A and B are shown apart, each in its own frame.
Chain A
């Protein structure tokens, strides 16, 4: 009599533990998908920025006749950013691009006619909006990564994570400190 009770108790405990482990696994998968989704949000905005830059440069070229170096810097930084693979490399290339753009914008200050060009103004608004979007999307991505990494490292979910080889994801860090606190294109 007591034997069957003990047996069923053990079975019950095992079932509960199994359900718990399945729950952890599903939570991990959910978090990983969240990270992927958040990354795709960033990716969309980075692409948008890459698409805007040639237009911006093209518009500015008519006015800024003697700034070849600035243009080349921006174009090179953009090419690097488009070619970059992997989160840390992309982050690095993108922060270089941000820097190049803000230097470009500083030069624009010397060309009041360009600053009054409606086409340029519209592009500038789109660009600064894109920078903001990247900043906000990055925030969401880093949140998702933090949750995932915590789950992977913390006991008991770490056991499941190791069993099914969930790997930690890298944060998307922009290097420039001012860029980190303020999502902006700096013009001054």
Chain B
């Protein structure tokens, strides 16, 4: 753990809350003033003429009061429920172990490596752009979210690198800081935006503020100008404040990822895939951009003042130049080497100078299986579909149909063999269906042809009694799998989708077709 980083994150969170409070209060004051002056020159000009000095900034103080109240509400929201807010803004859905065992396992592994007390909640966003983010209040209450695109593109090692990066944000308490900051930034942006927009439709009062009102009118005009300037500048100011601090965090999270996984190349190659992907994230709220492992809006190739993330290419180069080991010290050395600076990324007490962490090799090919580009893209898509109430129907001819919830008719015909299927009565347990569907898919991709070629089906087939007109499940004698046939299935022979064993049916046949 980076104790110095954690302590400084706590400090910065408090500082940021105060700074944002001041900005908001000033914004409220100026806006109130502006509105006050405005009304003075338009509808209420006759009344306000008589107001004394005490009432001069009345509107301003009202605005200030509103802003402070707003700030308090924001603070409460960001401390209590902003993680949920961002997750729902991003359109994230929680996944269980059964839905995506690999992702769950990888998160659990990284939780153990980071020795966090509680497993973060795991979410998936249905977006083809590869990306990931973490939100939460601290190690005991956090969530990690990855996009379907990331799951589709990355193999196990790469996924592990990305998850470890997010775990780093959680362990270093970056999440709380980022959540609070994003909420505050979002609020300032929204207020300023609303004001500027309303300005456009405001009555053209400016032209009436001619010299007849003398010095007071001029002073008010200056105040109005100041208010205007402040409104324009405050979102930019808060953004600079926010983004400038969020960049070094990415390096630190990368360093943590390398240390936890002991395999910096995993994260590096994931980042490469993210960099090269042509997809752009469509679900990311603007204020939440710094949450993501790579900026969802632009690829940060230059790393200008507004960049939320350091250039991806630089991060990759640093990870790739960790030749000796995977410790924090090795990362800092690689960082110095690549950026040609001696900037202190980490306090010396956090660097664990004495520690030697050997790099490990890549995991064996078989365990990376789920990352094969075609199959896992389909799998990630299927998980999203299952969560969005798609119905999965497996036809006896081997065709898999995915029926969207918008489809209202009660039955559907298989496009390959023209059998009719009742929706609703079909696999209502969509999850089970996906699991079998994806497993069947992997098998199709690898082994189904060689299997039937070995002539397995010529062995004595298994014989079962067919109950016509009903759903029926028979146990395959070859592999023990339950093979299900639909009420409309009226052929005398079915092939087990797992092992290719032939099962013959006896008994009456009811004709449907």
Give me the interface of A with B, judged by CB distance under 8 Å: 38, 41, 45, 62-63, 112-113, 115-118, 121-122, 124-126, 128-129, 132-133, 136-137, 139-140, 181-188
The yes or no answer to B205 lying at the interface (CB within 8 A) is no
A63 cross-chain contacts in B, Cβ below 8 A: 479
Q: How far is the CB of A10 from chain B (nearest CB, A)?
A: 34
Known: A117-B499, A122-B101. A132 touches B360 (CB 8 A): no
Which has the most chain B C-beta neighbours within 10 Å: A62, A122, A124, A128?
A128
Partner of B364, one of A126, A139, A186: A186
Binds A, one of B104-112, B186-194, B250-258, B485-493: B104-112
Known: A113-B447, A118-B498, A126-B101. A132 touches B361 (CB 8 A): no
Asked whether, in the complex, the Cβ of B109 is within 8 Å of the Cβ of A112, the reply is: no
Q: How far is the CB of A58 from chain B (nearest CB, A)?
A: 10
The yes or no answer to B450 lying at the interface (CB within 8 A) is yes
Asked whether, in the complex, the Cβ of B435 is within 8 Å of the Cβ of A139, the reply is: no
Asked whether, in the complex, the Cβ of A125 is within 8 Å of the Cβ of B360, the reply is: no
Asked whether, in the complex, the Cβ of A116 is within 8 Å of the Cβ of B442, the reply is: yes
What would 29 A/B residue contacts be, using CB atoms closer than 8 Å? A38-B115, A41-B112, A62-B478, A62-B480, A63-B479, A116-B442, A116-B446, A116-B499, A117-B499, A118-B436, A118-B440, A118-B498, A125-B101, A129-B101, A129-B102, A129-B109, A136-B112, A136-B260, A137-B112, A139-B113, A140-B115, A181-B359, A183-B360, A184-B360, A184-B363, A184-B367, A187-B365, A187-B367, A188-B365
User: How far does the alpha carbon of A182 sit from the alpha carbon of B499 in the complex, in Å?
Assistant: 33
Q: How far is the CB of B179 from chain A (nearest CB, A)?
A: 27
Give me the interface of B with A, judged by CB distance under 8 Å: 101-102, 105-106, 108-110, 112-113, 115, 260, 358-361, 363-367, 369-370, 435-436, 439-440, 442-443, 446-447, 450-451, 478-480, 498-500
A112-B447, A184-B363, A187-B367 known, 12 other contacts, Cβ within 8 Å: A41-B112, A62-B478, A62-B480, A118-B440, A129-B106, A129-B109, A133-B112, A136-B110, A136-B260, A182-B361, A187-B365, A188-B365
User: How far does the alpha carbon of A28 sit from the alpha carbon of B237 in the complex, in Å?
Assistant: 48
Q: How far is the CB of B371 from chain A (nearest CB, A)?
A: 12
A140 cross-chain contacts in B, Cβ below 8 A: 112-113, 115
Closest 8 CB pairs of A and B: A118-B439, A129-B105, A136-B113, A116-B443, A128-B367, A187-B366, A182-B360, A136-B112
Which has the most chain B C-beta neighbours within 10 Å: A38, A118, A184?
A118
User: How far does the alpha carbon of A29 sit from the alpha carbon of B98 in the complex, in Å?
Assistant: 40
User: How far does the alpha carbon of A81 sit from the alpha carbon of B439 in the complex, in Å?
Assistant: 32
B364 cross-chain contacts in A, Cβ below 8 A: 184-188
Partner of B108, one of A116, A128, A129, A185: A129
A115 cross-chain contacts in B, Cβ below 8 A: 446-447
Q: Who on chain B is nearest to A180 by CB?
A: B358
B440 cross-chain contacts in A, Cβ below 8 A: 118
Q: How far is the CB of A118 from chain B (nearest CB, A)?
A: 3
Q: Who on chain B is nearest to A178 by CB?
A: B361
User: How far does the alpha carbon of A187 sit from the alpha carbon of B364 in the complex, in Å?
Assistant: 7
Q: Taking chain A's interface residues, is the majority helix, strand, or loop, or is none over half, making it mixed? A: helix
A136 cross-chain contacts in B, Cβ below 8 A: 109-110, 112-113, 260
Asked whether, in the complex, the Cβ of B109 is within 8 Å of the Cβ of A181, the reply is: no
Q: How far is the CB of A89 from chain B (nearest CB, A)?
A: 23
Q: How far is the CB of A110 from chain B (nearest CB, A)?
A: 13
Q: Who on chain A is nearest to B435 by CB?
A: A118
User: How far does the alpha carbon of A125 sit from the alpha carbon of B367 in the complex, in Å?
Assistant: 7
Asked whether, in the complex, the Cβ of B447 is within 8 Å of the Cβ of A116, the reply is: yes
Which has the most chain B C-beta neighbours within 10 Å: A113, A129, A140, A185?
A113
A117 cross-chain contacts in B, Cβ below 8 A: 479, 498-499
Q: How far is the CB of B103 from chain A (nearest CB, A)?
A: 11
User: How far does the alpha carbon of A187 sit from the alpha carbon of B110 in the complex, in Å?
Assistant: 23
Q: How far is the CB of A132 from chain B (nearest CB, A)?
A: 5
Asked whether, in the complex, the Cβ of A125 is within 8 Å of the Cβ of B105, the reply is: yes
Asked whether, in the complex, the Cβ of B498 is within 8 Å of the Cβ of A116, the reply is: yes
Partner of A181, one of B110, B361, B363, B450: B361
B358 cross-chain contacts in A, Cβ below 8 A: 181
Asked whether, in the complex, the Cβ of A121 is within 8 Å of the Cβ of B442, the reply is: yes
User: How far does the alpha carbon of A132 sit from the alpha carbon of B112 in the complex, in Å?
Assistant: 10
B365 cross-chain contacts in A, Cβ below 8 A: 187-188
User: How far does the alpha carbon of A38 sit from the alpha carbon of B112 in the complex, in Å?
Assistant: 10
B367 cross-chain contacts in A, Cβ below 8 A: 124-125, 128, 184-185, 187
User: How far does the alpha carbon of A124 sit from the alpha carbon of B124 in the complex, in Å?
Assistant: 23
User: How far does the alpha carbon of A124 sit from the alpha carbon of B156 in the complex, in Å?
Assistant: 13
B447 cross-chain contacts in A, Cβ below 8 A: 112-113, 115-116
User: How far does the alpha carbon of A136 sit from the alpha carbon of B352 in the complex, in Å?
Assistant: 18
User: How far does the alpha carbon of A172 sit from the alpha carbon of B440 in the complex, in Å?
Assistant: 41
User: How far does the alpha carbon of A129 sit from the alpha carbon of B364 in the complex, in Å?
Assistant: 12
A186 cross-chain contacts in B, Cβ below 8 A: 364
User: How far does the alpha carbon of A184 sit from the alpha carbon of B500 in the complex, in Å?
Assistant: 31
Asked whether, in the complex, the Cβ of B480 is within 8 Å of the Cβ of A132, the reply is: no
Q: How far is the CB of B106 from chain A (nearest CB, A)?
A: 7
B443 cross-chain contacts in A, Cβ below 8 A: 116, 118
User: How far does the alpha carbon of A121 sit from the alpha carbon of B446 in the complex, in Å?
Assistant: 13
